[in-house]
């Protein structure tokens, strides 16, 4: 990797940006043809998809991301449940506690620059080497500092728990390995996620096989912690490989001080919001581990694992449409809000489509997956699954704030939600354990996604859009 602050040759990557007269704002290239799979659709769908090239691009990219997540949902759920059954609620709770601590540190290590880098890669693809190289260096050293910090924290708060300390020491290396995700940002900016899916799916499947071998050989908890790190490392190597095969040149990545300053300056509000957002996601598990016990955390973590499976839908959709939302904002405001409303509508529909069935089938799902030993997780799952509806909308609203460059608003919104979450956890966990934490999560995510929009004037328009989506969600 080069380390200079001079201009270099433009990055020669594959650009697949497409458009059409029907779904592309004025000023966007429309020289494209329909995707090959469109001809195999039923006539009704084919008519709606024809000549809508940006829409086809987003659908195809989402399909790859959803396919990857479905693979993880299938294989990962089976193997993950097997691991949870093998470890039991107590050891599973210890593993989840350590993972939550590392997750909180990961929010700091990320520096809030990923979405900024994607946005700038979309706007200035000729400067890819600068953005990717600078992002890698910043993420690597921040990850190393955070790793040392989280080790110090776990020794301080659990001085007599050597097992938890060792697991954090192993899993924590993911904080530095994640720096190699810089290459993934380039694929996201090009809406070319299928190549990342290839790479990470290979690493995931290899790690799944290792976990099965560990169960059959009756391995220790430490071995499973090491496998979590192995999965991430294999995925990172795979992404770098496909990046190089698609024309990327890692040796040309450059660290540029001017770019670093700009990323950190632009990402500072996102960085703070990311920390607070991760607090919302993980602080409940940390607090259960501190206030209650590892077994109760094991029940809650089992419910969280099932509830988080459905994040595949919003994350895949938003990752696919985010670059096009950015482009629409710059050339056609009416089209921008039209696309945003469609995004809210679809994600609200997806949230209801999951939450309603799980409300009735929650006990059956937990018993089927984890066994009678985890029966206490069922009511927690029923509560947590409704928070997914608001998480869907919050993720879409986050894309809106990025497009509008209202990153400070994102920070204050997330901070308010975290404060509500922590306050409710402090009140409810001592009384109701994991169920109390689930109630706190559901309320705080509603505040973060929807309720707060009516407290901040610039966000009221998005609040009205979410209200319409909640009342009248639409699949199409």
- Cβ atoms of residues 243 and 196 within 8 Å: no
154 in a structural domain: yes
Condensed to tens digits (0 to 9), the pLDDT of residues 39-75 reads 656 665 555 556 655 555 666 655 656 666 666 666 7
Residue 270 has pLDDT above 80, yes or no: no
Classify residue 333 as exposed, middle or buried by CB count within 10 Å of its CB (0-12, 13-18, 19+): exposed
Is residue 29 situated within a structural domain? no
Instruction: Report how many domains make up the chain.
Output: 1
> What distance in Å separates the CA atoms of residue 339 and residue 345, rounded to the nearest whole number?
10
Per-residue pLDDT tens digits for 71-90: 666 676 678 778 888 888 88
- The dihedral built from the CA positions of residue 423, 428, 434 and 435, taken in this order, carries a sign that is negative
Q: Is residue 394 part of a domain?
A: yes
- Whether 8 is covered by a domain: the verdict is no
Residue 387 lies in a domain: yes
Task: Identify whether 406 is part of a domain.
Answer: yes
pLDDT digits (tens, 9 = 90+) for 451-461: 888 888 888 88
Q: What's the pLDDT at 53?
A: 56
Range of 205's domain?
A: 53-471
Tell me, yes or no, whether 3 lies in a domain: no
Q: Which of 38-47, 138-147, 383-392, 464-473 has the lowest mean pLDDT?
A: 38-47
Say if 73 falls within a structural domain: yes
Lowest mean pLDDT across 22-36, 47-61, 117-131: 22-36
């Amino acid at each position: 990797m080069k380390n200079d602050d001079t201009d270099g040759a433009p990055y020669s990557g594959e650009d697949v940006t497409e458009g059409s007269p029907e779904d592309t704002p004025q000023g966007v290239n429309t020289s494209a043809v329909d995707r090959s799979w469109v001809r195999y659709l039923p006539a009704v769908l084919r008519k709606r998809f024809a000549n809508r090239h940006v829409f086809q691009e987003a659908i195809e990219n989402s399909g790859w991301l959803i396919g990857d997540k479905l693979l993880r949902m299938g294989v990962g759920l089976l193997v993950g449940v097997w691991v949870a059954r093998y470890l039991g609620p107590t050891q599973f709770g210890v593993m989840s506690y350590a993972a939550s601590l590392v997750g909180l540190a990961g929010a700091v290590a990320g520096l809030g620059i990923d979405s900024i880098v994607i946005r700038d890669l979309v706007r200035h693809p000729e400067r890819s080497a600068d953005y990717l190289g600078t992002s890698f260096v910043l993420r690597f050293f921040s990850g190393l500092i955070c790793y040392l910090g989280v080790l110090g924290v776990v020794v301080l708060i659990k001085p007599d728990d050597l097992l938890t300390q060792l697991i954090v020491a192993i899993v924590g290396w993911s904080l530095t390995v994640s720096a190699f995700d810089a290459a993934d940002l380039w694929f996201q900016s090009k809406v070319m996620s299928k190549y990342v899916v290839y790479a990470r799916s290979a690493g995931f499947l290899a790690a799944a096989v290792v976990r099965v071998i560990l169960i059959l050989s009756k391995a220790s908890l430490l071995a499973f912690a090491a496998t979590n790190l192995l999965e991430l490392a294999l995925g990172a190597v795979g992404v770098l490989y496909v990046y190089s095969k698609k024309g990327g040149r890692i040796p040309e990545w450059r660290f540029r001080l001017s770019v670093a300053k700009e990323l950190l300056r632009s990402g500072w509000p996102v960085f703070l919001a990311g920390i607070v957002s991760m607090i919302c996601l993980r602080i409940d598990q940390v607090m259960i581990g501190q206030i209650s016990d590892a077994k109760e955390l094991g029940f809650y973590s089992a419910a969280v694992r099932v509830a988080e499976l459905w994040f595949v839908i919003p994350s895949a959709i938003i990752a696919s449409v985010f670059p096009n939302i950015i482009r629409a904002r710059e050339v056609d405001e009416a089209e921008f809000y039209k696309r945003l409303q469609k995004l809210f509508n679809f994600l609200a529909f997806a949230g209801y489509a999951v939450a309603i069935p799980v409300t009735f089938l929650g006990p059956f799902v937990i018993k089927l997956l984890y066994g009678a030993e985890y029966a206490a997780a069922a009511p927690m799952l029923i509560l947590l699954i409704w928070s997914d509806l608001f998480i869907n909308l919050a993720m879409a609203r986050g894309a809106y704030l990025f497009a509008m460059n209202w990153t400070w608003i994102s920070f204050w919104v997330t901070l308010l939600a975290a404060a509500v979450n922590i306050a409710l956890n402090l009140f409810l966990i001592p009384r109701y354990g994991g169920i109390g934490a689930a109630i706190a999560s559901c309320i705080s995510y509603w505040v973060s996604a929807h309720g707060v929009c009516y407290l901040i004037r610039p966000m009221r328009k998005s609040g009205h859009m979410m209200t319409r989506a909640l009342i009248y969600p639409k699949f199409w």
